[in-house]
Amino acid sequence: MKEGVRKAERQKRDSLTQRHILEKSRLIMEKLFSLKEFQNAKTIAFYVSVKSEVRTLEMIEKGIELGKKVAVPIVRKEENKLEFSEISFLKDLQESSFGLLEPKKELEKILALDKIDLVIVPGLAFDLHGNRIGYGKGYYDRLLKELPRETKTIGLCFEENLLEKIPSGANDEKTCIVLTEARVFRR
């Protein structure tokens, strides 16, 4: 069932034009930056967007400009996990695992999870209860399980990818907040 939802949501999102993705991403950024959870966070872990995801590069850059400590994920395929490395500039990133932008090896500055106040979580789709459909590898679900309880998590998605209910399993972790260009849902 999950694979069918994953495929349908990927197709829906991939049908958006680049112009719409950028416009919707800017609206999401405005909403994100106005949330008290974002404003109060000192250290924020962002995902680095690819393809038709909500664009985060501008969010990362503005977060750094606002004086936030910003971290981005590094995929540790051999360990089947994510770690977050602090970055100071977008130019600190280079293409790496899965074609993702990650910090250059010589600039890695791994942050302990208990030093992160807020994690911005990607997904193909989210529901009104914080459930998400990821890409099927489980990296973020494993990461979310390891976060200290007080760490806030925000899932970003386009309104088209906000579903009433997503099938969830024992290994799935919910986000605290789901944010689209039109709405904010808290659980």
Q: What is the mean pLDDT of the chain?
A: 94
How many CB atoms sit inside 10 A of residue 150's CB?
A: 7
Per-residue pLDDT tens over the stretch 1-15: 788 989 999 999 999
Cα Rg for the chain, rounded, in angstroms?
A: 15
Task: Tell me what pLDDT residue 102 has.
Answer: 96
Across the range 105-114, mean pLDDT stands at 96
pLDDT recorded at residue 97:
67
Asked if residue 58 lies in contact with residue 25, where contact means CB atoms within 8 angstroms, the answer is yes
pLDDT for residue 169: 79
**CATH architecture for residues 2-186:** 3-Layer(aba) Sandwich (3.40)
Nearest alpha-carbon partner for 176 in 74, 37, 72: 37
pLDDT in tens, 12-40: 999 999 999 999 999 999 999 999 999 99
CB 128 within 8 A of CB 118: no
Report CA dihedral (81, 150, 36, 52) to the nearest 10 degrees.
Answer: 20
pLDDT band, very low/low/confident/very high, at 136 (cuts 50, 70, 90) = confident
| pLDDT value at residue 39 | 98
**Integer angstrom CA distances of residue 122 from 56, 67, 153, 155:** 10, 23, 10, 6
Alpha-carbon gap, residue 102 to 26, rounded angstroms: 22
pLDDT band at 95 (very low <50, low <70, confident <90, very high): very high
pTM of the model: 0.95
